[in-house]
Structure 1
Amino acid sequence: MRFLIVSFDGLRPDLIDRNLTPNLARLQNAGMTLSGHRTIYPSETRSAFPSLVTGTTTSRHGMVGNKYIDRSVTPQRYIDTADAVLLRQLDLESRGRLMSAPTLGEILASAGRRLAVLATNTPGTTRFFHHKAEDFGHIRLSGHFREACTPDEVLAETEARLGPLPPEPPKTEPDTAGQDWITSAFLEVVWPNYWPDVTILSYGEPDITSHFHGTGADATRGIIAHCDRQFGRVLDWWEAEGAAAGVQIMAISDHGHITGHTRVSVADSLREAGFRPGIAPASDVDVVVVPGQVGALYLADPTDNQVARLVAAITHEPWCGPVFTRTKNEAEGIAPGSLGHHLVFADHACAPDVSFCFRADDGIDPFGLIGGTFYDNDGRTGLGVHGGLHPNELAALGIVAGSAFPARGAVSSVPSGICDLAPTMLHLLGIAQPQSMSGRVLYEVLERQPKAPHICSETFEARLGSFRQVLRRVRVGDTTYIEGGIAEG
């Protein structure tokens, strides 16, 4: 048995239909759709894909955001995980502990199996799928970036057949060439010549186009359709050859998008509240505001009083959504009005002193899609953003098909998540699941007459003055998923 994971970065599952994505719809007819599938918090790519390959949340793998402050060194440093060379340096410096949980590539290698990666995401994201591929001689190919590719001879073989790596297009242009290149690389080189046990084929779209054009814009719908056509080539191969060879397909996304409707400046608000904000540690900075759609605030002096002062400042702002700090008890954070980081599985040593989401709502955007939010970046209003706790940021594509999944054209409404895919694959491969994995085996999609698991919902609330936040979670057996979070007042 072998596995092919096909990822569409930032694809909202409610954009799947027979007209826009006929090939994903074809896969739905051949397998089972996971209608309650979700990502983790923060709903950012370089937190979510580490969760895919470690089978656990940020609290265990440590990639707490696309960008974070590394406090393990002096002086502290700002880390942008888009940089593949930096990630390799960090892994070597930490003696192989870039992530604080074993990854799928390492687990497969220890069992004599191989993971191959082909991706058009950033160099850092591509590395995250298998950050130690070069150590095991496994294949990792980027559709654009040589620094993320290994081994050299496989890259040379692929370029000799397909032509050189296409250059990265401008951010304002949908990336079609990269998706074509990695699809051909899988079909014409990697599969026929190397037969990996698990392959991750990751389309970096429609995420980039959504960020620069809007989640439901014509350009975004165009690149979704293009990626679906490339996936159609893969599905044709699977129906003709792959399924008979025992290949199971999982089609996923790492998060959804909602629309930024009101631009704000967190730094300006903090400055007005008496703080000295900056985007990186410095002698004249008392709180680092990490750039991004997820609020990540690192204090130079993270005492309980300073954390409480910071929370009090942001919860007075109209843009402030749910807020999390170090755990005080079963629900609360150390600052009044905050919930504990542990409730969103973000209680790692690298976590910010204060994490927050921008306030989101269920408004209808210009494209007819549900979900809007405040945001803090240089983009105009109406563009796609993600990272927070709106249900459409957390919603992720999930479709499984193959001989291991007996249902055809069925829908499972049982909650599931990105952390469940690696445990399910390891179970089917007969490889022991490490204790670090918090995801579960998706037995309900493996059995012809599955027993209904026990499902229960839970709600947590915190208040400070007129500010009120609510976090909703759902439990399936011993596994908990985040459904969403809101704030008001």
Structure 2
Amino acid sequence: MLSPRFIIVSFDGLRPDLVSQELTPNLFRLQSLGVTLSKHRTIYPSETRSAFPSLVTGATTSRHGMVGNKYIDRSVSPPRYIDTADAVLLRELDLESGGRLMSAPTLGEILAVSGKSLAVLATNTPGTTRFFHHKAEDFGHVRLSGHFREACTPEEVLAEVETRVGLLPPELPKLEPDKAGQDWITSTFLDVVWPNHRPDVTILSYGEPDVTSHFHGTGAEETLRIIAHCDRQFGRVLDWWEAEGRAGGVQLVAASDHGHITGHTRVSVIDCLQDAGFHPGTVPAPGVDVVVVPGQVGALYLADPSDEQISRLVRAITSQPWCGPIFTRAKDEVQGIAPGSFAQHLVFADHVRAPDVSFSFRADDSIDPFGLAGGTFYDNDRRSGLGVHGGLHPKELAAVGIVAGSAFPASGAASTVPSGICDFAPTILHLLEIDRPSEMNGRALHELFQDPAKADAEIRRETVEAGFGRFRQVLRRVQVGSTTYVESGMAEG
């Protein structure tokens, strides 16, 4: 019997409720050929460079350590600001730390130890592309960016692709949807990587519709057009899979790393903290008592992270109408050390790199101009009406999950058992008969190896609450066996 191979095709930022016969006929076709994970979610924070590390480690941020797209590294003196979009910086950090950039082993490393390979083709930022397999050059594995040479390895494979497929497309302005990059990585997989290298696992990551949603809006015409374009490129892969790959034992997975909601009201966290008597900044510096890391999920690092200062900071934040769920280090099983806050471990965000205070902007179920549910306060320099993510609204946490192939015998079925982005890696390792490392807290999706309608999973739901003064927050989680998923977090008051 042939050892199975796997292709994970990711659509960055695609909401599952945008998958339809009209807009994404090829994803819709895949649903008819396999199993749709109808209760599939990402992790917190619902940011790309936290979620994709969870994809390849099978672990939450508390285990792999990528606590946000950007974070403050306090392992050095003075502390430094880290933007994980920079692939060269990530390589330097990994070498500097003795290979501990991520504090959990990744799929590429695990496969390499077993004599197997992981190939990556991605049009995301150079840092995201590296995160899919940050040690690819150490094992001679293929990692190709659709735009950035610094994220590509080996050089001879890139040269082979540029001869056969065409030169690496230049990076486009953010306002211009990226069609060329998606075309290039698709052709590269079909014409070079698969026929010449036959990786055991391939990650094919379309960096859209995320960027276009950020700059045009989640339901804007430009965004819908790039979703349809990515679906057409995926259709080329699906045609190949139906003609050749499926019979060769290839298992096909379609996924996204998070959803989007719409920013409706702009605020300034720095201005509010200044009004509360703090001296905030966006990077560590003399005189800065709290670093406000830019992003849709609030990450606050104090120069003096004492219980008293953390509580003072939480009081200032929770008095604002834009403050959503808020987290600090644990006081007990539910509460953080600051009154009104949740313990970070409830959302699996308790890592040494975690901010002293993290929060989501307050979100709601308002309908945006495109008819999509989910709105929020936000803090960036863009106009209202654009897509954002990072927080705990159900539409941010909802992610695409579809599987098809001989390992998943049902066709056209939907699984209602909760699942998450951390579950793909342990499922792949189970099917390859490779032991999973102890750091993985995702689970193998055993219910998909049979008829999902007959799945007998033990599912338990829980709701926890916290508050201080008028501020109240609610967190909902669901447990399947010993694995817990965050469903939503909301706040009011």
User: RMSD of the alignment, in Å?
Assistant: 0.5
Rounded Cα–Cα distance in structure 1 between residues aligned with 2:102 and 2:261: 29
Q: Distance in 2 between matches of 1:41 and 1:163?
A: 38
Q: Does 1:478 align with 2:460?
A: no
Aligned to 1:118: 121
Residue of structure 2 aligned with 1:400, choices 403, 420, 442: 403
- Matched position secondary structure for 2:324: strand
1:357 corresponds in structure 2 to: 360
| Structure 1: distance between partners of 2:134 and 2:216 | 31
User: Over residues 305-324 of structure 1, what are the superposed CA-to-partner deviations in whole Å (9 max), with x where a residue is unaligned?
Assistant: 00000000000000000000
- Shift of residue 451, structure 1, vs aligned partner: 3.6
1:69 corresponds in structure 2 to 72
- 1:237-256 Cα distance to aligned partner (Å, 9 max, x none): 00000001110000000000
Matched, 1:20 2:23: yes
Choose which of 250, 254, 271 in structure 2 pairs with 1:251.
254
Which of the residues 325, 328, 342 maps onto 2:328?
Answer: 325
Unaligned runs of 5+ in 1: none
One-letter identity of the residue aligned with 1:318: P
Distance 1:392 1:253 in 2: 12
Which digits, 9 at most, give the CA deviation of each residue in 1:182-223, with x for residues without a partner?
000000000000000000000000000000000000000000
Task: Tell me how far 1:448 sits from its aligned partner.
Answer: 3.4
Measured against aligned partners, the alpha-carbon deviations of 1:365-410 in whole angstroms (never above 9, x if no partner) come to: 0000000000000010000000000000000000000000000000
Residue type matched to 2:492 in 1?
Answer: E
State the one-letter code of the partner of 2:465: E
- Per the alignment, residue 457 of structure 2 pairs with 453
Hey, what's the Cα distance between the residues in 2 that align with 1:49 and 1:376?
A: 23
2:225 alignment partner in structure 1: 222
264, 274, 278: which one pairs with 1:275?
Answer: 278
Matches within 5 A, 1:342-421: 342-421=345-424
Cα deviation digits, residues 25-52 of structure 1 (max 9, x gap):
0000000000000000000000000000
Distance 2:254 2:488 in 1: 23
Aligned residue among 45, 55, 72 for 2:48:
45
Using the TM superposition, give the Cα deviation of residue 87 of structure 1 relative to its aligned residue in structure 2, in angstroms: 0.1
Alignment-mate amino acid for residue 283 of structure 1: P
User: SS of the counterpart of 1:244?
Assistant: helix
Q: Secondary structure at the match of 1:131?
A: coil
State yes or no: 1:185 paired with 2:188. yes
Instruction: Tell me the distance in 2 between the aligned counterparts of 1:181 and 1:354.
Output: 41
Instruction: Determine the structure 2 residue equivalent to 1:264.
Output: 267
Determine the structure 2 residue equivalent to 1:174: 177
Counterpart AA for 2:55: L
The runs of at least 4 aligned residues of structure 1 exceeding 3 Å deviation read 448-451
Counterpart in the other structure of 2:140: 137
How many residues get paired? 489
Change (3 A) 1:60 1:131: same
Q: Report matched runs for 1:232-243 at 5 Å.
A: 232-243=235-246
1:54 to 45, 57, 69: 57
Instruction: State the match for 1:312 in structure 2.
Output: 315
Q: Please, what TM-score do these two structures have when normalized by structure 1?
A: 1.00
Does 2:481 match 1:469? no
Give distance in 2, aligned partners of 1:362 and 1:116: 39
Partner of 1:90: 93
C-alpha distance in 2, partners of 1:162/1:401?
28
Note the C-alpha offset of 1:173. Answer: 0.4
In the TM superposition, residue 419 of structure 1 has moved relative to its aligned partner by 0.2
What's the offset of the Cα at 1:460?
1.0
Counterpart for residue 127 of structure 1: 130
SS of the equivalent of 2:300 reads: strand
Q: Please, which of 203, 207, 213 is the counterpart of residue 200 of structure 1?
A: 203
Per-residue Cα deviation, 1:146-204 (whole angstroms, up to 9, x for no partner): 00000000000000011110001100000000000000000000000000000000000
Q: Structure 2 counterpart of 1:19, which letter? A: E
CA distance in 2, matches of 1:422, 1:60: 14
Q: Which amino acid aligns with 2:478?
A: V
Stretches of structure 2 that go unaligned for 5 or more consecutive residues are: none
Aligned residue identity for 1:484: S
Percent of aligned pairs with the same amino acid? 78
Shift of 1:262: 0.1
Q: TM-score, normalised by structure 2?
A: 0.99
AA in 2 matched with 1:74: S
Q: Distance in 1 between matches of 2:61 and 2:283?
A: 22
* Alpha-carbon distance between aligned partners in 1 of 2:47 and 2:487, rounded to the nearest angstrom: 16
Following the alignment from structure 2 to structure 1, what is the Cα–Cα distance between the partners of residues 17 and 467? 33
Aligned residue in 2 for 1:340:
343
For 1:4, the aligned partner's letter is I
Partner SS for 1:332:
coil
Q: 198, 208, 213: which is aligned to 1:210?
A: 213
**In structure 2, C-alpha distance between the alignment counterparts of 1:327 and 1:182, rounded to whole Å:** 44
Which has the larger displacement, 379-388 or 441-450? 441-450
1:103 lines up with 2:106 in the alignment: yes
Q: Distance in 2 between matches of 1:418 and 1:74?
A: 34
Distance 1:473 1:439 in 2: 15
**Cα distance in 1 between the residues matched to 2:83 and 2:330:** 26
Q: Does 1:7 align with 2:14?
A: no
Q: How far does residue 452 in structure 1 lie from its aligned partner after superposition?
A: 1.3
Q: Which amino acid aligns with 1:459?
A: T
What's the CA shift for 1:428? 0.3
Q: Deviations 1:285-328 (Å, cap 9, x if unpaired)?
A: 00000000010000000000000000000000000000000011
